[in-house]
Amino acid sequence: MKKSVWFLCILIVLSMVLSACGAQATEAPAPAEKFRVAVVMPSAINDLAFSQSMYDALVRVQTEMGGPDAFEFVYSDGMFVVDDAAAAIRDYATQGYNLVIAHGSQYGSSLQEIAPDFPNTSFAWGTTVDTFGQPNIFAYEAASQEGGYINGVLAATLSQSKVIGVVGPIETGDAKLYVDGFKAGVAATDPSVQVNVNYIGSFSDVALASEAATTHISAGADVLTGTAQMVVGAIGKAEEADALWFGTQSNQTSLAPSIVVASQVYHWEVILNEMIGLIKSGTLGGRSFTANLANGGEVMEYNPDYALPADAKSLADKTVQGIIDGTIKISLP
């Protein structure tokens, strides 16, 4: 019996280590001039969605700032258990990182508790606008309704069946903004187009998201979109049926080069650079940032292999300009 208890303990410890696998070994304290960032993310850094958008942005910031000697970042990903994430956030703060990013709105209440214990550390969390009124918390969000709107305009232009399907995770936060913006874009372009929305109640159920896409196609949709990491299977179903796909968060062209038209891509580095500048000048928080089309935090990326008609492309470009200069207002429900 004793032996089995030992074995179990080892197994459990081993599995815990593995489930926190994204966590990189932290290095010894760095020289003062090196800027050090730690980030906690809910899904994998290579999810081709929300977490990857932040990881890619950190890599770009690192390149811009001159490599790992000037800018070091570590991450814990796959932190869908909020308690684990909270422990990681506290660990990183203890280790003296300049900026600790909680990349997920579900981490908010943990951060609210932890941040006051580390007044010299700057924290950031998103997607939200709430800094909890604390001097060392930044908030950030993406105006995902903007790219959603552009995708909606294009989708309505390209749909021949006049039916469009949307696969969403849970009706909240970033996903809701995107879907509502998308619907507004369709309605503004062609009110006769019907948009069917399906929230599957999960960020990870790839099988259900795929069946949701199949269901949309059976219901007549010839253009699909969706948000969050579980849509990767849905894109394959769209490809099988030769329906078009619009992506968001990361560039999803590589999954189905023949049918992905465009993706709204988050470029968080625009916001990260601002935060880093503020931290270096002594402001540790208290402000909120929005990535949008105007400040380059959101970029529309088109699939070069998809032959987008020139008039559709110019309509999209005009719409982007209209959103940037404020002539197009996106009304959300």
Partner 1 sequence: MIQDLFSVTVLIGILASGIRLATPYLYAAIGETFSQRSGVLNLGVEGQMLLGAFAAFYVSLRTGNLWLGLLTAMLVGAVMGLAMAYVTVNLQAQQGISGIGFYLFGLGMSDLLFQKLMPTVETIRGFPRIYIPGLSDIPGIGEIFFSQNILVYSAYLLVPVAWFVLNKTTLGLKIRAVGENPDAADSLGVSVARVRYFTIILGGTLSGIAGASLSIALLNVFQQNMTSGAGFIAVALVYFGAWRPIGVLGGALLFSMVNALQLWVQVLNIPIEPEIAVMMPYVLTILVLVATVSRVRAPSALTKPFEREN
Work out which of 37, 52, 102, 271 binds partner 1, going by CB under 8 A.
52
Q: Quick check: 18 binds partner 1 (CB under 8 A)?
A: yes
Residue in 39, 40, 45, 186 binding partner 1, rule: CB under 8 A: 45
Instruction: Tell me the chain's radius of gyration from C-alpha atoms.
Output: 21
Q: Is 314 in the site for partner 1 (CB under 8 A)?
A: no
Alpha-carbon distance of 112 to 133, in angstroms, equals 10
How many residues of this chain interact with partner 1, rule: CB under 8 A? Answer: 58
C-alpha 39/C-alpha 50 separation (Å) is: 13
Cα–Cα distance, 331 to 139 (Å, whole number): 23
Among 6-14, 87-95, 139-147, 284-292, which window interacts with partner 1 (CB under 8 A)?
Answer: 6-14
DSSP letters, 306-326, are S---HHHHHHHHHHHHHHHHT
Q: Which helix (H) or strand (E) holds 117?
A: none
Nearest-approach distance from CB 316 to partner 1, in angstroms:
25
User: What is the torsion angle, in degrees rounded to the nearest 10, for the CA atoms of residue 267, residue 303, residue 169 and residue 241?
Assistant: -170
**Rounded to the nearest whole angstrom, what is the least distance from the CB of residue 170 to partner 1 in the complex?**
8
Residue 42 or 285: the one with the smaller Cβ distance to partner 1 is 42
In the complex with partner 1, the residue whose CB is nearer, 249 or 319, is: 249
Based on CB atoms, which residue is closest to partner 1, 43 or 98? 43
Q: CB of residue 4 vs partner 1: minimum separation in angstroms? A: 4
Residues 226-265 close enough to bind partner 1 by CB under 8 A = 229-230, 232-233, 235-236, 254-256
Three-class SS state of 53: helix
Q: List strands edge to edge, sheet with 244-249.
A: 194-199, 163-168, 223-226, 244-249, 260-266, 298-302
What is the closest distance, in whole angstroms, from the C-beta atom of residue 228 to partner 1 in the complex? 10
Spell 264-289 as b/e; 16+ CB within 10 A means b.
Answer: bbbbbbbbbebbbebbeeeebbbbbb
Binding mask 164-183 for partner 1 (x = CB under 8 A): -x-----x------------
- Which of 36, 47, 131, 259 is close enough to bind partner 1 by CB under 8 A? 47
Whose Cβ is closer to partner 1: residue 215's or residue 295's?
A: 215
Instruction: Report if residue 1 touches partner 1, rule: CB under 8 A.
Output: yes
Helix axes 144-158, 310-325, angle to 10 degrees: 150
* Residues within window 64-93 making contact with partner 1, judged by CB under 8 A: 77-78, 80
Cα angle 324, 171, 180; round to 5 = 30
**Min dist. Cβ of residue 137 to partner 1 (A):** 28
7 touches partner 1 (CB under 8 A): yes
Q: CB 112 → partner 1: shortest distance, Å?
A: 26
* Closest separation in Å from C-beta 147 to partner 1: 20
Which of the residues 189 through 228 are near partner 1 (CB under 8 A)?
A: 196-202, 204-208, 210-212, 214-216, 218-219
Q: CA angle, corner 24, sides to 18 and 28, nearest 5?
A: 135
Handedness of CA 234, 266, 151, 300 (dihedral sign): negative
Closest C-alpha to 222, from 184, 165, 303, 263: 165
Q: Can you list the alpha helix ranges (DSSP code H) found in 39-131?
A: 50-65, 82-94, 108-114
Tell me which residues touch partner 1 (CB under 8 A): 1, 3-5, 7-8, 11-12, 14-22, 43-48, 52, 77-78, 80, 165, 171, 196-202, 204-208, 210-212, 214-216, 218-219, 229-230, 232-233, 235-236, 254-256
